[in-house]
Amino acid sequence: MDEQSVESIAEVFRCFICMEKLRDARLCPHCSKLCCFSCIRRWLTEQRAQCPHCRAPLQIRELVNCRWAEEVTQQLDTLQLCSLTKHEENEKDKCENHHEKLSVFCWTCKKCICHQCALWGGMHGGHTFKPLAEIYEQHVTKVNEEVAKLRRRLMELISLVQEVERNVEAVRNAKDERVREIRNAVEMMIARLDTQLKNKLITLMGQKTSLTQETELLESLLQEVEHQLRSCSKSELISKSSEILMMFQQVHRKPMASFVTTPVPPDFTREEGRGRER
């Protein structure tokens, strides 16, 4: 089908209202003209209830829905595109001087020419000619060979990229593994520090308990003596003084040196061979 025939058929499938390609096509039941649904609906609602082409009375409900029209217009678009492409290709392969199809390759000039240039042009006398199709096939073969080489090169590059990506993944995994090792080591060190802290606190709390008990004993004794001093008469105090002094002597029998505690060092030692980074 030539370009003119395709264009003639395409005109049939244009909306007679907007003159554009049909969209959601509808058909007038009186004159069988095609139009866009939006165009005819606007006409019937805003202008008058009759077909704008044949003037017959018309209601929206009477319109015939032509779903097949969209398929036809798509096929026409494809035909028009193919026709345009073929026309452009034909125009490119025409001789500038004679407007004839290029069909000969002048081997001497390395140029594509038409048969009139080869026979009557006068510029290619005594030159060597070859069929254009044969030379074209040779060039296509060479280009395809180079394309194949480029594809192989592309595949090699893609393979190298994948290798680098695998390397990146391996480096990231190694880093994550090292982080896990460090975290485990830190957790073990913290656990050992907690154990050391617990032992130190046990020692210190024992010292504190012992001193607190002695302090409470002395406070109780002092309160008792002070109470005796305030409440006893002179004679009673004299009679109890030997007992009071005896209690004092019992307290002093335990020297202060026995209460002096050995300081617990505030530093925390680290076991050799553990927690050391590689």
Alpha-carbon span 38 to 264, nearest angstrom: 95
Residue 248 confidence (pLDDT): 84
Do 188 and 225 belong to one domain?
yes
Last residue of a domain, one of 82, 112, 138: 82
This prediction's pTM: 0.41
Looking at the structure, tell me whether residues 60 and 102 fall in a common domain. no
Examine the domain organization and report whether 99 and 63 are in the same domain: no
Whether 227 is covered by a domain: the verdict is yes
What is the DSSP pairing of strand 64-65 with strand 104-106?
Answer: unpaired
Q: Give whole-number Cα distances, 67 to 25, 26, 265, in Å.
A: 7, 8, 94
Kindly tell me if the per-residue pLDDT of 28 is higher than 50.
yes
132 is a domain residue: no
**Are 175 and 246 part of one and the same domain?**
yes
Mean pLDDT of the chain: 83
Mean pLDDT of 50-56: 88
CA distance 124 to 246: 147
What pLDDT was estimated at residue 228?
84
Domain span at residue 187 reads 170-259
- Whether the pLDDT of residue 272 is over 50: the answer is no
56 and 109 share one domain:
no
Per cent of the chain over pLDDT 70 is 86
Q: Kindly state whether residue 19 falls inside one of the protein's structural domains.
A: yes
User: Exposed (0-12), middle (13-18) or buried (19+): which is 117, by Cβ within 10 Å?
Assistant: buried
Distance linking the first and last C-alpha atoms of the chain: 81
Q: Is the pLDDT of residue 10 over 70?
A: no
Q: What tokens appear for 237 in the block?
A: 């105090």
Phi-psi region at 75: left, alpha or beta (left = phi > 0; alpha = psi -120 to 50) = alpha
Please check whether residues 175 and 255 belong to one and the same domain: yes
Q: Which residues of 33-55 are buried (b: 16+ CB within 10 A; e: fewer)?
A: bbbbbebbeebbeeeeebbbbee
| Helix/strand number for the chain, H first, E second | 6, 6
- Whether 207 and 237 map to the same domain: the answer is yes
* Element containing residue 38 per DSSP (H, E): helix 37-46
Residues paired with residue 14 on neighbouring β-strands, in sequence order: 21
Residue 49 inside a domain? The answer is yes
Contact 218, 252 (CB under 8 A): no
Which amino acid, residue 231?
S
How many distinct structural domains can be found in the chain? 3
Using a pLDDT cut of 90, give the percent of the chain over it. Answer: 26
β-strand 64-65 against 25-27: which pairing, if any? antiparallel
- Residues 229, 250: one domain? yes
Write down the pLDDT at residue 135.
Answer: 84
- The pLDDT tens digits for 121-146 are 567 777 888 887 888 888 889 999 99
Residues 46 and 122 in one domain: no
